[in-house]
Amino acid sequence: MTNAVKRIGVLTSGGDAPGMNAAIRAVVRSAIYRGIDCVGIRRGFNGLINGDFVRLDENSVNHIINRGGTMLYTARSEEFRTVDGQQRAAATCKLLGLDGIVGIGGDGTFRGLKEFSKQGISVVGVPATIDNDIVCTDYTIGYDTAANTAVEAIDRLRDTMQSHERCSVVEVMGRNAGHLALYVGLAAGATSVLVPEKKLDFEHDVIDCIRGARLSGKTHYMIIVAEGAGSAIEIGKQIHETIGLDPRVTILGHIQRGGTPTARDRVMATRMGYHAVKVLAEGGTNRLICSQQGSMVDIDLEEGLAMKKGLNAQQYEVLQAMTGLEIEGL
Ligand code: F6P
């Protein structure tokens, strides 16, 4: 195989997500397969600015497919938002002889890549965030593991809530999006799921659901709150003030970001990493790797970032049937 691309860099940026290591491994192995040298950039875009790198050969990515976190560390770089930071990063690429960069992360990472491409470096983004909020792709690396971690924790909570006949309010991550909370709520059999995409009607979305559950014979209740929909602590207080229950509040927090990636995350990360290198090797730039209806495709980075993603309407419809919530307003 011959190609003009001789050396590429790979970095992880933004919040870590289980499966990032599998994606790094796939990038390195796919590059070597194509005769391309691969350099790991550490600590996100800060590493590009500071020349913080590590040579990556086939062996350096042994035994990481099963590990959470990212072997390259990650960061959110304020400096990279500036033209000066981007120019310094471009100088690092020039010095190291990097023809392209694979950036693994979320929308902040992709905005950084888009700006950086103006420096004449080829860039490809690989979506990895537990939030699954990247519009153009059906899937982001880390989502499945985070959902399973949350569901496992909630199953444990359910045991104690059932024994005490209590109400539990659980806050699930997701930043401004409710995809993770909705999915987790469906899997955990929640009494109600509050998402930022739907304006909160407390009486209808919480109290009516608890009341309906009680009338159907239940004596414990599980309210899932997406972090972007409001504070679980406040929701718990409001439940207490309105109907006198004494809810226990659990904020799952960063637990959801760690742990061994599921098979789904490993396979998606491997396929996405492979596709990213293929795109760069074939001369592509400013591309975002997306999973669309089971196929791996790449689309223009700017176009991808401009799209708007709503909640999965079918999933919400099913939730409505399970909890009595109405679908209107989505
Ligand atoms: O984007 C991933 C995410 O875990 C969000 O769900 C959450 O809002 C945010 O990152 C937390 O960021 P940090 O790790 O900086 O606290």
Cα of 193 vs its chain's centroid, Å:
19
Strand ranges (E), the chain = 7-12, 37-41, 53-56, 100-105, 122-127, 167-172, 192-194, 221-226, 248-251, 287-292, 295-300
Q: How far is the CA of 95 from the centre of ligand 1 (A)?
A: 33
What mean pLDDT comes out for the span 182-193?
A: 97
Q: How far is the CA of 227 from the centre of ligand 1 (A)?
A: 10
Q: What is the pLDDT of residues 8-46, one digit of tens each?
A: 999 999 999 999 999 999 999 999 999 999 999 999 999
Q: What is the pLDDT of residues 220-262, one digit of tens each?
A: 999 999 999 999 999 999 999 999 999 999 999 999 999 999 9
Among the listed residues 77, 18, 68, the one whose alpha carbon sits nearest the alpha carbon of residue 43 = 77
Q: How far is the CA of 244 from the centre of ligand 1 (A)?
A: 33
From 74, 130, 225, give the residue whose CB has the most ligand 1 atoms within 8 Å, as the site to mutate: 130
The amino acid at 36: I
Catalytic residue among 131, 133, 205, 265: 131
Dihedral, CA of residue 36, residue 45, residue 148 and residue 144, to nearest 10:
-50
**Whole-prediction pTM:** 0.95
Lining residues, ligand 1, CB within 6 Å = 15, 106, 129-131, 173-175, 227, 257
> Residues near 215 by Cβ (< 8 Å), separated by ≥ 6?
none
Per-residue pLDDT at 327 = 43
- pLDDT category, 325, cuts 50, 70, 90? low
Active site residue 131: yes
What does the alpha-carbon distance between residue 59 and residue 296 come to, in Å, rounded to a whole number? 26
Q: How far is the CA of 134 from the centre of ligand 1 (A)?
A: 14
What mean pLDDT comes out for the span 131-153?
A: 96
- pLDDT category, 101, cuts 50, 70, 90? very high
Is 80 exceeded by the pLDDT of residue 308?
no
Angle between helices 143-164 and 179-188 (to 10 degrees): 50
Per-residue pLDDT at 3 = 55
Nearest CA to ligand 1 atom 6: 174
Per-residue pLDDT at 324 = 75
